[in-house]
Amino acid sequence: MPGILDAIGVGMLGPTIIAHGTDQQKTRYLGPMLHGDEVWCQLFSEPAAGSDLAAVQARARLQADGSWRLSGQKVWTTNAQFASYGLLLARTDSDVPKHKGLTMFIVPLDAQGVTVRGLRQISGEAEFNEVFFDDVAIDADAVVGGVGNGWGTALTTLMFERVTIGLGSEGMGYNSNRFAQAIAQDPDARNDHQVRHALGEIASELLAVRFTGYRTLSALQKGQVPGPESGLAKITIVSGAIKAGDLIADVLGPDALAEDGEWAYMISFLPGLKSAGGTEEILRNTIGERVLGLPPAPRLDKGIPFSELRSKETAAA
Amino acid sequence: MNLSLSDEQVFLREAARGTLSRFKTFEANREALDGNSEALPDLWPAAKEAGWPGLLIAEQHGGAGLDAFDAMLVLGECGRVLAPIALLGHLPASAILNDSPAGASLLEPLASGERRAAYLPVSPPDDLSQKWTVDPASGLQRGDAPTASASADGVSVSGKLAFVPDAPGADLLVGVALLDGKPVGIAIEASASGVSVEATTRYDASRSLGHVVLENAPAIVLDASEQSLASAWYLAQSLLAAESLGSVETALDVSVEYAKERHTFGRAIGSYQAVKHSLTEVLRQLDNGRSLLYYAGWARGGAPGEFPLAASAARSVAGRALDTASRTMISVHGGTGATWEHDAPLYFRRAQLSRRLLGGTAGATDRVAGELMLQADAA
């Protein structure tokens, strides 16, 4: 089912550049991104910084001429193997608390010192990658949103990411009609009360998020900023699709798991998707705190310079 | 399709909230559970004053000429405070009559609320069966729709309907009967011969229910279309869904406030992930329900072919949301949440009964699957 070629670029990185980029960056990058001439990737997560994104260690060091040198590693980078550019969150100051010492950069993936290595997933496909940066040269004008403002810029990206996943699910094939079609083919399944009940529960929730998507679009058109509650739609979609995959494979039997089939692919993809764009646990925390106003759990790393945190962890181990 | 509230709708909802705030519904529900049914406030005068009985009746007949979504907003407000009010029965009945030129003379007093109607709920055929059916007194086997027979003296209707919302005290009973096997709309004076309404309550004293027995009761045949008769069932589903989600809203609000105040091991219980996640889960189901209320409220007029699916999905999600919200409310409040004096048990009782009325939440969930089967066949 055709969707947007570069949903990551168009869905969240482009909007980040629109919100935080310079006019020069917008002029240079948005057109080719929209036309699909240049594909983008999101260079945020690292092996030691997934949920705790502010703990990234990829380091960009300022040079005398205002340019930067970047070293470090990113992981789970979807489409890095196709990308011309990536939006990268790096540490630019280790002597301040972790959130304050970050800067966002536009990094060309064909630069000297960049290595992309595919990571195979449950399905056997390698849709995402680890990306290594070995003293990569980055221009001064590659900074997006200002030096030291990487965290604020990243939050914009994450917000759009949740909206994109929430709105894009139908295009990814997670919709009630498609799942119902699979059940409808089987004359016993469509009359079976248990199957109907399971399908009804799944489908009613997926229908709900279809309309949540319309409500979100409507709010965006009115200039409203989508809030953290868009993460709720992601939770519903992933859990709904997981249950649908289970139901369909129960009905169809092992043939549903044939490697070249649509259901095997979906079934393989969903466990990872549960963590992509924010794990369900983190999303529920964020929504509980920002939308319901519940107090956060205590954290042990608040206000401490980043350079001291690493030694604390090593000492504790 | 409207995906946010118009100014008029915001006003309608705020006005409803204000009207209902005058009544101590929670205390009254508790007293009624203890056997004092006089304790329940009579909300019909307030409903009349607010114009709610006429919400779905055309302006030319004295009503407000509004649509399903507007009525659902009012029901949501009623649900927020578990209000004992007869709109769930009255509004679908008024909708059938509003679609029937033959029933036009009956509309004016219903629009003003001077007379009250109750819908005799009959569910339309689905993908598995051609039968119109009614809720049984017990068990899984649904009952047959009432039957109508015509003679020189007119039309009379016989049948039994169990657990009819708001039947007790209604002046007019409006629903569906099978005349020569075909569904027709019928209106029956509650005071007519052959009509018996046995009032009953079950577990939730704020829900007026009646067992209706019709034995050759004289009836007016209405010329509402079959689609209109089916639409009344789905309107009832939508209204109950909206009412349930209103209850979810206040259950969640109260639970969140408590989770911020109550401390254990030195911090608020809401700061613990398990509690936080259980409350977020209520919000997730509430938000899903809200989206489906928009769908159902729009579909009745805007996409009638989708109304069965939209209304059934709304009912399914809203019913489950209230189950989750009421149980979570009890849990979050610890032992206190399970005491008589607390409001949480009132939400729990409302959830327990509501899920078994009007075909049940399970019936609506099955209907979602059935509608999708029909859509798949048509694709």
Residues of chain B with C-beta less than 8 angstroms from the C-beta of A235: 284
**Among A205, A211, A293, whose Cβ lies nearest the Cβ of B295?**
A211
Nearest to A154 by CA among A62, A58, A72: A58
Among this protein's residues, is A127 annotated catalytic? no
Q: Look at B284 and A236 and tell me if their CB atoms are within 8 Å.
A: yes
Which tokens belong to B171? 């002046």
Decide which of B19 and A229 is more confident. B19
Per-residue pLDDT tens digits for A52-77: 999 999 999 999 999 999 999 999 99
Name the minimum distance, in Å, from the CA of A282 to any CA of chain B.
10
Q: Look at B291 and A284 and tell me if their CB atoms are within 8 Å.
A: no
Chain centroid to CA A300: 26
Q: Look at A199 and B379 and tell me if their CB atoms are within 8 Å.
A: no
End-to-end CA distance of chain A: 48
User: According to the model, what pLDDT value does residue B202 have?
Assistant: 97
Chain A and chain B share a number of CB contacts under 8 A equal to 156
Q: Is A220 on the interface with B (CB under 8 A)?
A: no
User: According to the model, what pLDDT value does residue A3 have?
Assistant: 62
- The residues pairing with A72 across neighbouring beta strands, listed in sequence order, are A133
| Site from A51, A211, A224, A234 to mutate, B interface, most B CB atoms within 10 angstroms | A211
Report CA-CA distances (Å) from B53 to A97, A196, B172, B237, B354.
Answer: 61, 37, 13, 18, 22
User: According to the model, what pLDDT value does residue A35 have?
Assistant: 94
Q: Look at A295 and B267 and tell me if their CB atoms are within 8 Å.
A: yes
pTM over 0.90? The answer is: yes
Decide which of A231 and A39 is more confident. A39
Interval A16-28 mean pLDDT: 97
Per-residue pLDDT tens digits for B214-258: 999 999 999 999 999 999 999 999 999 999 999 999 999 999 999
User: According to the model, what pLDDT value does residue B249 have?
Assistant: 98
Name the minimum distance, in Å, from the CA of B151 to any CA of chain A.
40
A52 φψ region: left (φ > 0), alpha (ψ -120 to 50), beta (else): beta
Interval A221-250 mean pLDDT: 91
Q: Look at A292 and B279 and tell me if their CB atoms are within 8 Å.
A: yes
Nearest to A190 by CA among A166, B74, A198: A198
The answer to whether the CB of B360 falls within 8 A of the CB of B321 is no
Going by the DSSP 8-state scheme, the letter that residue B63 receives in this structure is S
User: According to the model, what pLDDT value does residue A1 have?
Assistant: 38
> Please, is B335 exposed, middle or buried when counting C-beta atoms within 10 Å of its C-beta (0-12, 13-18, 19+)?
exposed
Report the alpha-carbon distance of residue A133 to residue A115 in Å, rounded.
Answer: 7
Per-residue pLDDT tens digits for A252-274: 999 999 998 999 999 999 999 99
The pLDDT-based confidence of A167 (bands split at 50, 70, 90) is confident
User: According to the model, what pLDDT value does residue A315 have?
Assistant: 73
Torsion of CA B220, B222, B223, B227, to 10 degrees: -150
Name the minimum distance, in Å, from the CA of A193 to any CA of chain B.
8
User: According to the model, what pLDDT value does residue A317 have?
Assistant: 65
User: According to the model, what pLDDT value does residue B66 have?
Assistant: 97
Residues of chain A with C-beta less than 8 angstroms from the C-beta of B272: 297
Report the alpha-carbon distance of residue A44 to residue A87 in Å, rounded.
Answer: 8
Which tokens belong to A205? 């929730």
Report the alpha-carbon distance of residue B18 to residue B22 in Å, rounded.
Answer: 7
Residues of chain A with C-beta less than 8 angstroms from the C-beta of B270: 288, 292, 294-295
Helix axes A150-168, A230-252, angle to 10 degrees: 40
User: According to the model, what pLDDT value does residue B1 have?
Assistant: 75
Report the alpha-carbon distance of residue B317 to residue B309 in Å, rounded.
Answer: 12
Name the minimum distance, in Å, from the CA of A220 to any CA of chain B.
12
User: According to the model, what pLDDT value does residue A188 have?
Assistant: 97
Q: Is A205 on the interface with B (CB under 8 A)?
A: yes
CB within 8 Å of chain B, chain A residues 8-47: none
Q: Look at B281 and A284 and tell me if their CB atoms are within 8 Å.
A: yes
Listed as ranges, residues in chain B with pLDDT below 50 are: none
Report the alpha-carbon distance of residue B82 to residue B69 in Å, rounded.
Answer: 19
User: According to the model, what pLDDT value does residue A316 have?
Assistant: 67
Determine the Cα angle at A300 with ends A295 and A304, to 5°.
Answer: 115
Chain centroid to CA A199: 28
Residues of chain A with C-beta less than 8 angstroms from the C-beta of B309: 207
Catalytic residue (choose from A161, A262, A280, A308): A161
- The residues pairing with A133 across neighbouring beta strands, listed in sequence order, are A72, A114
Per-residue pLDDT tens digits for A116-153: 999 999 999 999 999 999 999 999 999 999 999 999 99
Report the alpha-carbon distance of residue B48 to residue B65 in Å, rounded.
Answer: 15
Residues of chain A with C-beta less than 8 angstroms from the C-beta of B365: 196-197, 200-201, 204
